[in-house]
Amino acid sequence: MTQTNRGSLAFETMDLRLLNVLQSHAAPAASTNGFEIHTCQRSVAVLYGFEALGAARTQFPADGALEQFEGAAAYAFLLRICCGLESKLVAETEIFGQIKQAWRNFSSGACGGSRLAQQLSPWMQHLFRDAKEIRAQYLGSLGSASYGSQVRRLLGDDAAAGPTLLIGAGQLAQAIAPWLTGSELWLSNRTAARARELATELGKRSPERPVRVLDGIEGELAAWRGAHQIVICVPPDVDSDRLRMAAWRERTGSGGRIIHLGAGAEGAASWKDLPELVSLGALFGMLQAHSDVRRRQIERARAACREKALLRGLGANASHPHSWEDLAAFNVA
């Protein structure tokens, strides 16, 4: 069968073999004409059929370690992403919301009526359903593994010791802000209007909670001198970071923490002299100290992703084994 024939046949029959996923650590130079998901760890393009695959591949930079998944392997990979099993913070929950949002944007935006949106739509619905099921069955009892819950855990009782300054109002800051309870929350963001939007959202959830939006870099620096703990959810910036560190050193109180989630190993280097700093890398390191139970549960969830993908390959609506032969045929443990 030619690839073109396979493409049109698939549209009618929902053939999982035609699902293709490209993954790179670097963003594509231009549109891949696929459904794209961009996170801080990867860029993913989801395509259906083989016609557009070659052109999509060329959009990714050669040094981005491009990976390609096909058919059931592509579905299993997407499931693992949705379940947080491909995240550095394993089993984190925020990624699921990010993917759902990306799909909403794609399927209701300019690409909404496209053939690709129609072809992918049933698979995305299956994907979200399967991910929810796997999370509930295997990962629910792991304890919350969101960035917010980890930050909260890190701050511990200190969270109530004085004001918390949150820098940023993007996806990460929005996910973390609801966890920063226990003391007054100060919000600062390059675009103050976004910080105000976040404050309004937080106010709707907990009207009694004290939240203050700071104005400009001067307002932020004054807060560095007065906050007890600081959570940074923006990328490193050499000039602003120098001012921030100087302001932190000028504060009158002691103790507290700076949790810098915008900085990986390189970005955190300039902060290394501050003993109160916890970088994103350090946070991942702490989480790698998984208990055996946690590791086993994660392994089971990974196996469930494989199994779901194989069953979906048997028929789009199959999500449970039909018979022992089905499992035997696919050698699912």
Ligand X SMILES: NC(=O)c1ccc[n+]([C@@H]2O[C@H](COP(=O)([O-])OP(=O)(O)OC[C@H]3O[C@@H](n4cnc5c(N)ncnc54)[C@H](OP(=O)(O)O)[C@@H]3O)[C@@H](O)[C@H]2O)c1
Long-range contacts from 32-36, C-beta under 8 angstroms, 24+ separation:
32/56, 32/59, 32/60, 33/116, 34/116, 35/102, 35/103, 35/106, 35/111, 35/116, 35/117, 35/120, 36/102, 36/106
Nearer to ligand X by Cβ, of 137 and 191: the residue is 191
Q: Residues 268 to 327: which contact ligand X by CB under 6 A?
A: 280
43 binds ligand X (CB under 6 A): no
Q: Residues 162 to 191: which contact ligand X by CB under 6 A?
A: 168-173, 189-191
Q: Which of 82, 261, 277, 311 binds ligand X (CB under 6 A)?
A: 261
Displacement of CA 185 from its chain's centroid (Å):
24
237 binds ligand X (CB under 6 A): yes
Q: Smallest distance from the beta carbon of 210 to ligand X, in angstroms?
A: 21
How many residues are recorded in the chain? 333
Q: Smallest distance from the beta carbon of 43 to ligand X, in angstroms?
A: 13
Q: Which of 122, 235, 253, 285 binds ligand X (CB under 6 A)?
A: 235
> For ligand X, which residue has the nearest CB?
170
94 binds ligand X (CB under 6 A): yes
Radius of gyration of the chain (CA): 22
Nearer to ligand X by Cβ, of 244 and 308: the residue is 244
Residue pair 142/297 in contact by the 8 Å Cβ criterion: yes
Question: CA distances (Å), 82 to each of 96, 258, 275, in order?
Answer: 5, 29, 35
Q: Residues 186 to 215: which contact ligand X by CB under 6 A?
A: 189-191, 194
Q: Which of 78, 139, 213, 233 binds ligand X (CB under 6 A)?
A: 233
Residues that bind ligand X (CB under 6 A): 40, 94, 168-173, 189-191, 194, 233-235, 237, 261-262, 280
